Amino acid sequence: MFARKFPERKESADRFALQPEQELAAILYEKMNEKAAQRADQTPRSFRCKVNDLFRAFSRNIALAVGSAWAFIVAITVVIVWGATGPMYHFSDTWQLIINTGTTIVTFLMVFLIQNTQNRDGKAIQLKLDELIRALKGARNKLVDLEELSDEELKKLQKEFQRLHTRSQETDTHIGKAES
């Protein structure tokens, strides 16, 4: 399925000319699907896991699709066609209800799809940052689980980083004056 959508890298450059971030997303998505397929072969999956996997893939694809310029063009076209049909229907309540109902339903459904995608992306970014913190010498490992800290602890940490930033600016200023 994926190979049809996103052919190998050299073909995509020639035939589809994906943007670099789209190409990277496609490669990451392919690797993620490969890992999921390996897991599926190794362990039996419950119905709930299968439904979650289907929803994840569906929401990811829909989020990519509706985030495109083409989706925006389609939406603008729908609004223009709706507006152009106003005089034909004498700007009736039913005519207005059509666009209101349609946009409400689409918005309601998109909230869940986009939230699912953002939750997954946020978790992935957090795990990547945690790995970087763990891998760097001298990094404070207490920063790994910042999302678990209380608001007060986060404010204290933010003030500490602001102090560090101010100190580094002062040091840079002193170094710049000494070099002149």
* pLDDT tens-digit map of 55-90: 888 888 888 888 889 999 999 999 999 999 999 999
- Give the orientation angle of helix 93-135 with respect to helix 47-66, to 10 degrees: 110
Which residue has 């207490």 as its token pair? 142
pLDDT band of residue 48 (cuts 50, 70, 90) is confident
Nearest to 26 by CA among 55, 62, 54, 64: 64
> Given a cut of 50, is residue 151 above it in pLDDT?
yes
DSSP secondary structure string, 144-162? TTGGGS-HHHHHHHHHHHH
- The closest alpha carbon to 82, from 69, 66, 95, 71, belongs to 95
In eight-state DSSP terms, residue 179 is H
Burial class (CB in 10 A: 0-12, 13-18, 19+), 59: buried
Average pLDDT over residues 21-37: 69
More reliable by pLDDT, 170 or 19: 170
User: Do residues 29 and 2 make contact, with C-beta atoms less than 8 angstroms apart?
Assistant: yes
Asked if residue 9 has pLDDT above 60, the reply is: no
CB-based contact 95:86 (threshold 8 Å): yes
Provide the pLDDT for residue 179: 63
Residue 116 has pLDDT above 90, yes or no: no
pLDDT of residue 80: 95
How do residues 124-136 score in pLDDT, each as one tens digit? Answer: 898 888 888 888 8
**Terminal CA-to-CA distance of the chain, rounded, Å?**
62
- Which pLDDT score is estimated for 1? 42
Cα torsion 64, 66, 72, 73: sign: positive
Phi, psi of 34 (to 5 degrees): -65, -45
Name the amino acid, one letter, at 10. Answer: K
Per-residue pLDDT band for 41 (boundaries 50, 70, 90) equals: low
Average confidence (pLDDT) over 3-14: 44
| CB-CB contact of 116 with 59 (8 Å) | yes
Average model confidence (pLDDT) across the chain:
79
